[in-house]
Structure 1
Amino acid sequence: MKHKLIDLFSGCGGMTLGFVHPDFCGKFESVFALDNDPAAVDSYRANFGDHAQCGDIEEWVKSGRTPKADIVIGGPPCQGFSLLNKKRRNDHRRALWEPYMDIVALSGARVFVIENVQGLLKSEEFGEITTRADELGFETTSGLLNAADYGAPQTRKRAFIIGWKRSEVTPVSFPPQQTHTSDEANKSLPRWRTVRDMIADLPEPEELEIRNEPAPLNLHFRRNPTEKSMMRYRAVPPGGNRFDLQKNRPDITPQCWIKKTSGGTDLFGRLWWDRPSVTIRTEFFKPEKGRYLHPEQHRPITHREAARLMGFPDEFIFTGTKIEIARQIGNAVPPDMAAAVAEVVAEVLRQKTKKAA
């Protein structure tokens, strides 16, 4: 029997994919998912079934329609904890862990998993979450994981809190053991997966829109840059960034970058072929937002390349506009990282099920 799973703030389902798909963990079954982004919910339904709902989590708590499940997973919106959010102390999104925990209680789950940005572990809310979990009968543990250590082709660091019912489940051993490494001397583990591993086989993109053809080319489309943008792309060498642009072509470098002489080393940067990608965010198609230029072609990465660098298989279905799909990709949990957490939880639940039998 597969363990029943609820995914809250599910997005398109990257975390669910790591738990339920046989190519990842495959020991869970999604029975309910909730998100307030209609396009993301449509993608979730296309991949996992019609049990995903689009709505407000606080209203759902009041509805009394929460199904029973073995585990609740999810990432309350991370912007409230993000260092990029300068007004985060009064951000209402910081409180969305509360209805999340309400659904943990209503579902009768024996385990919960919260995923978020690094700032969660040093926030006031971290203590509040663990206190609420204790009141509900959960023990908790937490840690910071690097997605690349678990097979994702991306150096994305994310915080996890795992809780388990102390009366029903044995303690969770966390973090999971690494499955991949950057240490070339360590021959016992495969090396980190790289940008080259994931996108080198793709041809240069030709179309400007989502293509009505099978994956991977459906999402492998280019932008339509201005001539000035093209000159800027050409001025950035392999592995370079905005400082190389300024050195090589100061005449076309934005004045705001010239005046800012430090920081932002990833801005307008090229990905490295033989390293994992940097963190893929929602505006990866804008190179001024990060290291999102192709390693050698004069363009930002495509939606398909971004999806692969997140760890999504080509057969995963994304629905919506270009902007909506980019948001789904950038907000997702890398499925490989989710699968590593899923394996830890599955072993704990397996032991409990075996004991009960």
Structure 2
Amino acid sequence: MTAEKEPHLSVARTATSPSAVQVVDLFCGVGGLTRGLEDSGINVVAGLDSDADCEYAYSVNNDARFVHANLLETSSDEIESMWSAGAVRVLVGCAPCQPYSKYSRGTSKEDPSAPVLRFAKYVDDLRPAVVSMENVPAVSRHPAFNGFLETLASAGYHISWETLPASGFGVPQTRKRLVLMASRLAPIALPASNVAKAKTVRQAIGRLVPISAGEANKVDPTHRASALSAVNLERIRNSRPGGTWRDWPDDLRAACHKGESGATFPAVYGRMEWDVPAPTVTTQFFGYGNGRFGHPVQDRAISLREGALLQTFPQDYKFEKAETLRSFALVGRHIGNAVPVALAKQIGNAINSHLEKYI
């Protein structure tokens, strides 16, 4: 892995051969997609994101360079300069998906279609050999996605897309993601599931040392859990793996649970189960009351590190400097928004197979 790098506005490299494959990762976040592509052997030359807080994690863990850029304003020429002359160009990304996600909190003031349509513009202007986009399934019901497909088709791309279960690619979650791949060379196949049996919570996080609510591990400070109030500590002590708040004594139930609306959210304040996949890891996974994010046996919500492992980041992936720990909300958002690394690796393998056949 590379050391920390200085931010820059442009990356230019010399291709080692006319068939060298180079990837630019748009809306890269802290690097889940980039890391998976690199694990598949693909050369990612740059990742771009408007969130400067992603730079540390992206740069210190990956061989690609981080470019802080507002992708709604960055020119196509700037992105084109990041590929070497003669390189086989690949453009990938996960346009911000909160407006389309059922887990989104609040209402964004920004046009939710803008990132997807901007991605389409880059494709139309730059005509890379291969394009891949990962997103929440609900984006397929938005007009912006239809616009993206129309742009690809008019530019001569062969298109494949489908909502895939992440558990079929080694991700220990019930998460489902829309994966799109397009090629100007020939029809392109989506990654095929390569996991016969879903990975479980136990397999992902069972080896970590126990910690208490509000505690951080001294060796790995990212293995830290949010504190619990006295009532929430009693609630989790009365919770069983896979159970609901209906298992609690009446005096522990919140007022919202006693109304008709609260009855429709049984997983809130729930514990995960050891031997099945976790629920979808959201940006709020570190909070016990935000879903079924209670640890299976320890009286706390899962830690930031455990959330990252459920997203299949390597255990040594750094999200924060040990001496300057960031807020739970910031690190949780970065982890929850990431493309699961194991799924990204299989996307990379599919790109490799396609290019080996057609270039």
Q: TM above 0.5, one fold?
A: yes
Residue 93 of structure 1: how far off its partner (Å): 2.4
Mapped contact 1:9–1:76 kept (Cα < 8 A): yes
- Superposed CA deviations along residues 170-197 of structure 1, whole A, max 9, x for unmatched, are 21123x32211xxxxxxxx3x2110111
Q: 1:30 to 1:164 in 2, by over 3 A?
A: same
- Superposed CA deviations along residues 108-150 of structure 1, whole A, max 9, x for unmatched, are 4111111111111222222111111122221212101111111
SS in 1 for 2:74: helix
Q: TM-score, normalised by structure 1?
A: 0.86
Q: 1:311 to 1:301 in 2, by over 3 A?
A: same
The letter for the 2-side match of 1:226 is S
SS in 2 for 1:219: coil
The letter for the 2-side match of 1:345 is I
Residue 242 of structure 1: how far off its partner (Å): 2.2
Q: Which of residues 137, 152, 157 is equivalent to 2:176?
A: 157
Mapped contact 1:5–1:31 kept (Cα < 8 A): yes
The letter for the 2-side match of 1:302 is S
SS in 2 for 1:221: coil
Name the residue aligned to 1:92.
111
SS in 2 for 1:317: coil
Name the residue aligned to 1:53.
67
- Distance between the aligned counterparts of 1:207 and 1:92, measured in 2? 38
Give the aligned CA root-mean-square deviation in angstroms. 2.3
Name the residue aligned to 1:238.
241
Q: 1:229 to 1:88 in 2, by over 3 A?
A: closer
Alignment: residue pair count: 330
Name the residue aligned to 1:298.
299
Task: Name structure 1 gaps, 5 residues minimum.
Answer: 181-188
- Distance between the aligned counterparts of 2:65 and 2:168, measured in 1? 32
Name the residue aligned to 2:347.
341
Q: Which of residues 16, 23, 27 is equivalent to 1:9?
A: 27
The letter for the 2-side match of 1:252 is L
Q: TM-score, normalised by structure 2?
A: 0.85
Percent sequence identity over aligned pairs = 26
Name the residue aligned to 2:312.
311
- Distance between the aligned counterparts of 1:220 and 1:85, measured in 2? 25
Name the residue aligned to 2:275.
274
Q: Which of residues 142, 161, 186 is equivalent to 1:170?
A: 186
Mapped contact 2:76–2:125 kept (Cα < 8 A): no
1:112 is the counterpart of 2:131: yes
Q: 1:134 to 1:89 in 2, by over 3 A?
A: farther
- Distance between the aligned counterparts of 2:108 and 2:332, measured in 1? 27
Superposition pairs of residues 162-311 of structure 1, within 5 angstroms? 162-165=181-184, 169-174=185-190, 176-180=191-195, 189=196, 191-205=197-211, 208=214, 213=219, 217-244=220-247, 248-259=248-259, 260-311=261-312
Residue 86 of structure 1: how far off its partner (Å): 9.0
Mapped contact 1:81–1:120 kept (Cα < 8 A): yes
SS in 2 for 1:34: strand
Name the residue aligned to 1:36.
50
Runs of 4+ in structure 1 over 6 Å off: 86-90
Residue 89 of structure 1: how far off its partner (Å): 10
Residue 34 of structure 1: how far off its partner (Å): 0.8
Q: 1:212 to 1:59 in 2, by over 3 A?
A: farther
1:327 is the counterpart of 2:333: yes
Task: Name structure 2 gaps, 5 residues minimum.
Answer: 1-18
- Distance between the aligned counterparts of 2:206 and 2:269, measured in 1? 20
- Distance between the aligned counterparts of 1:329 and 1:90, measured in 2? 23
Residue 31 of structure 1: how far off its partner (Å): 0.9
The letter for the 1-side match of 2:237 is R
Residue 155 of structure 1: how far off its partner (Å): 1.4
Residue 2 of structure 1: how far off its partner (Å): 5.5
Residue 102 of structure 1: how far off its partner (Å): 2.7
SS in 1 for 2:188: coil
Mapped contact 1:81–1:94 kept (Cα < 8 A): no
- Superposed CA deviations along residues 284-328 of structure 1, whole A, max 9, x for unmatched, are 111211110001111100011111111111121212613322111
Residue 221 of structure 1: how far off its partner (Å): 1.7
Mapped contact 2:158–2:186 kept (Cα < 8 A): no
Residue 212 of structure 1: how far off its partner (Å): 6.2
Mapped contact 2:200–2:274 kept (Cα < 8 A): yes
Q: 1:222 to 1:120 in 2, by over 3 A?
A: closer
- Distance between the aligned counterparts of 1:293 and 1:283, measured in 2? 12
The letter for the 2-side match of 1:219 is T
The letter for the 2-side match of 1:12 is V
More helix by share: 1
SS in 2 for 1:5: strand
